[in-house]
Amino acid sequence: MSKPVNSLKVLHVIPSIAACRGGPSQAVIEMVSALRKAGVNAEIATTNDDGPSKLDVALNSLIDYQGVPVRFFNRLSPPISALREFGVSVRFTQWLNRHAADYDLIHVHAIFSYCSTRAMQIARKRSIPYIVRPIGQLEKWSLQQSKIRKQQYLNWFEQRNLERADCVHFTAESEQQQALAVLPKLVNTVIPLGLNVPIQVREAKSKIVNRWSLERDAPIILYLSRLHPKKGLEPLITALSQIDDLPFQLIIAGDGEPAYRRTLEALSNKLHMADRCRFIGFVRGTEKTLLLQGADLFVLTSFSENFGISALEAMASGTAVLLSNEVALAAIVKDHALGWVAELDNDDIKAKLLLALSDVDTTRERGSAARDYVEQHFQWSHIVQQLIRRYKAITHD
């Protein structure tokens, strides 16, 4: 017999929930919030990681963080960047060794990271059921980055952790297919991420035009995500630089490594895009909402994207999207005419941009259809029921 929902105690483990880490961090917070609203006693264990710095939070005790219960543990900060990114936390390991048995199930988010790997090892040792969400790290593009190091880590630790998991949680079929090509024995399921559909803000475009001193009559193209080489900003900027006969303004909202941002700014200048391309840095809260709702087109031309939560947020805001075919949501966007999907080459990206920019009515219609589709299929209140069914099936008596 499976456990009733209101008696399930689930620990979510993730290396970081800092905003600078992008969609996976925010998704865990929202997932745990939705689970708690549905009656599951869910909480988070993580580190105080905040990129190169640390979050200013209380450590080693359960606190309220963005409306959900979280335990933060100190992340070691060695001077070598790769070691710091691994996210070692001795206190996390000590605490989980003592308290893992307090939980019915552990839901691990991310692999190739200290806290995630240790959580799976401890769960196996204690015979505690666990689920793993690899957040796209088993996709082909990701495995090609630091290829030898990841293959060794997979051989030594992660393959055993993944193959002995009660379930590997993929968020899209494309992620599932690529992962199973590497590790075909995984017990797995596909459950997408969700979101809470926002309330529409009146005159959102006028407000962002005023806030960032934009041209009132030129369509706004928005990129809102981390600045990272996998996000495909170079082909996007290059394609846009070849459009001379239509007005537009590209807003790039997000942070990343300073050196990489300088590379993108240099490319923009070299291609004479400086007057049509604005880097505004990381945004959150009201500013993020205004941008998502006020933009005419959202773009994400990634080389690899196991889900694409920022694209889903744009769709929920009523904004049409242009995605590369490597973004997991691309199939839905193409099949239901919620925007445009481009191959990862300059010519096709340019062609799809021209379609969106030259037919404003169609772009608006696709944005409206995208919002309707998200309301029907991706709200957390629906998605969380799929998670609960999986939890109950695993934690049977």
Tokens of 84: 């710091």
Looking at residue 81, its pLDDT comes to 83
Residues 117/161, Cβ–Cβ less than 8 Å: yes
Helix (H) or strand (E) holding 248: none
Of the candidates 260, 241, 340, the one whose C-alpha atom is nearest the C-alpha of residue 300 is: 340
Question: Is residue 1 scored above 60 in pLDDT?
Answer: no
In whole angstroms, what separates CA 376 from the centre of its chain?
A: 20
Q: Supply the pLDDT for residue 22.
A: 81
Cα 79 to its chain centre, rounded Å, is 27
Which structural domains are found in the chain, ordered by start?
A: 5-195+379-394 (3.40.50.2000), 204-377 (3.40.50.2000)
Average pLDDT over the chain, rounded to whole? 94
Q: Quick count: other Cβ atoms within 10 Å of Cβ 229?
A: 15
Rounded Cα gap, residues 115 and 240, in angstroms: 41
pLDDT level of residue 56 (50, 70, 90 thresholds): very high
- Residue 23: pLDDT over 90: no
Strands (E), 32-88: 41-47, 49-50, 53-54, 62-65, 68-73
Residue 68 has pLDDT above 70, yes or no: yes
The answer to whether residue 84 scores a pLDDT higher than 90 is no
Residue 397: the pLDDT is 41
The token pair at 219 is 């369509």
Query: What number is the average pLDDT over the span 305-309?
Result: 92
pLDDT tens-digit series, residues 97-156: 999 999 999 999 999 999 999 999 999 999 999 999 999 999 999 999 989 999 999 999
User: β-strand 339-342 against 321-324: which pairing, if any?
Assistant: parallel
Amino acid at 13: V
* 254/122 Cα distance (integer angstroms): 36
- The strand pair at 277-279 and 339-342 is best described as unpaired
Residue 5 has pLDDT above 80, yes or no: no
Give the per-residue pLDDT at 3: 61
96 contacts: CB under 8 Å, gap ≥ 6? 13, 45, 118, 119, 122
- Mean pLDDT within 171-183: 96
Helix (H, G, I), strand (E, B) or coil at 51: coil
Give the pLDDT band of residue 222 (cuts 50, 70, 90): very high
Residue 6: is its pLDDT beyond 80? no
Q: Following DSSP, what letter does each residue of 256-307 receive, concatenated?
A: B-HHHHHHHHHHHHHTT-TTTEEE-----HHHHHHHHHH-SEEEE--S-BSS
pLDDT of the residue at 78: 85
Question: Kindly report the CA angle at 107 between 305 and 375, in degrees rounded to 5?
Answer: 55
pTM, two decimals, is 0.92
Work out the percent of the chain whose per-residue pLDDT is above 90. Answer: 88
Instruction: Provide the pLDDT confidence category of residue 238 given band limits of 50, 70 and 90.
Output: very high
Please check the confidence at residue 83 and state whether its pLDDT lies above 90: no
% of the chain residues with pLDDT over 70: 98
User: In this predicted model, what pLDDT tens digit does every residue of 314-372 receive, in sequence order?
Assistant: 999 999 999 999 999 999 999 999 999 999 999 999 999 999 999 999 999 999 999 99
Looking at the DSSP assignment, which residues form a beta bridge with residue 227?
Answer: 256
Identity of the residue numbered 96: L
Grade residue 80 by pLDDT with cuts at 50, 70 and 90.
confident
C-alpha distances in Å from residue 95, one per residue of 113, 122, 236: 17, 11, 45
